[in-house]
Amino acid sequence: METKDISKAVIKRLPRYYRYLGELLEEHVERISSNDLSKKMHVTASQIRQDLNNFGGFGQQGYGYNVKYLYKEIGKILGLDTVHPMIILGAGNLGQALANYSDFEKRGFKLVGIFDINPVLEGMAVRGIEIQMLSDLPFFLKETQVDIAILTLPKNKAKEMANILVENGIKAIWNFAHIDLDTPEDVIVENVHLSESLMALSYNIRQYRQEHDK
């Protein structure tokens, strides 16, 4: 399937389609019209048709979408039909919380290593995976295929670590450190900046109060 030249906006919406189709599957729904899907997802039916047409359609006039088929095809587009070995760098609270998220593994995101700088943590296990020292990381990366590195280190260590990852061939970084990483163009960085998300909330709270005090 050819999926180049798809706009970023469409790609951002795909995981949401995937989630809703997964819910429909759980409810044993076999097919759904774009109108019904539209009501469920609070987007217009024409947007749904347009989005899915990017990938060759999937829908049939008068029949709607085959839920199972569409779920599987979107899964393929999202790369969920292969296993992605991941490592976590930073075994603090957030790192351990992510390590304990068993839902990721169900979608093929398989944790294969956890690293930290704190010697107290060495050898402790999270979900059966022993925490190793960050100094052992380059050797580990030579021996083990890793698709995704999760950065849950403090921001002052994150930049240096990103460089080490890039030098060792890592092409995808899930960055939770509150900093922008400078990486080469062929390295994909997906940022989760939690405090910026909180600030968006507080901005909206302020707006709400201003409007209601008037």
Told to check if 135 binds its own copies by CB under 8 A, we report no
# binding residues, its own copies (CB under 8 A): 58
Kindly identify the residues of this chain, within the stretch 49-68, that bind its own copies according to CB under 8 A. none
| DSSP secondary structure letters along 9-32 | HHHHHHHHHHHHHHHHHHTT--EE
Identify whether the C-beta of residue 177 lies closer than 8 Å to the C-beta of residue 156: no
Does 112 participate in binding its own copies (rule CB under 8 A)?
no
Smallest separation, CB 63 to its own copies (Å): 26
Structure tokens at 210: 């201003």
CB 90 → its own copies: shortest distance, Å? Answer: 11
Name residue, tokens 């509150």: 178
77 near its own copies, judged by CB under 8 A = yes
- Kindly state whether residue 12 participates in binding its own copies, applying the rule CB under 8 A: yes
CB 81 within 8 A of CB 56: no
State in angstroms the smallest separation of the CB of 51 from its own copies.
14
Residue among 65, 71, 109, 115 that touches its own copies (CB under 8 A): 109
Strand partners of residue 86 = 111, 148
59 to each of 15, 44, 51, 52, 157, how far by Cα in Å? Answer: 18, 16, 11, 8, 48
- Residue 42 tokens, joined: 């609070």
Residue 107 token pair: 């979608």
Q: What are the backbone dihedrals phi and psi of residue 109, each rounded to the nearest 5 degrees, phi first?
A: -90, 100
- Selected from 141, 174, 177, 181, the binder of its own copies by CB under 8 A is 174
Instruction: State the Cα–Cα distance between residues 97 and 126, nearest whole angstrom.
Output: 9
Scan residues 32-51 and list those touching its own copies (CB under 8 A): 41-42
* Options 49, 84, 157, 159; binder of its own copies; rule CB under 8 A: 84
- Rule CB under 8 A: is residue 159 a binding residue for its own copies? no
Contacts with its own copies by CB under 8 A lie at 3-4, 11-12, 14-16, 18-19, 41-42, 77-80, 82, 84, 92-94, 96-98, 100-101, 103-104, 107-109, 147-148, 171-172, 174, 178, 180, 186, 188, 190, 192-208, 210
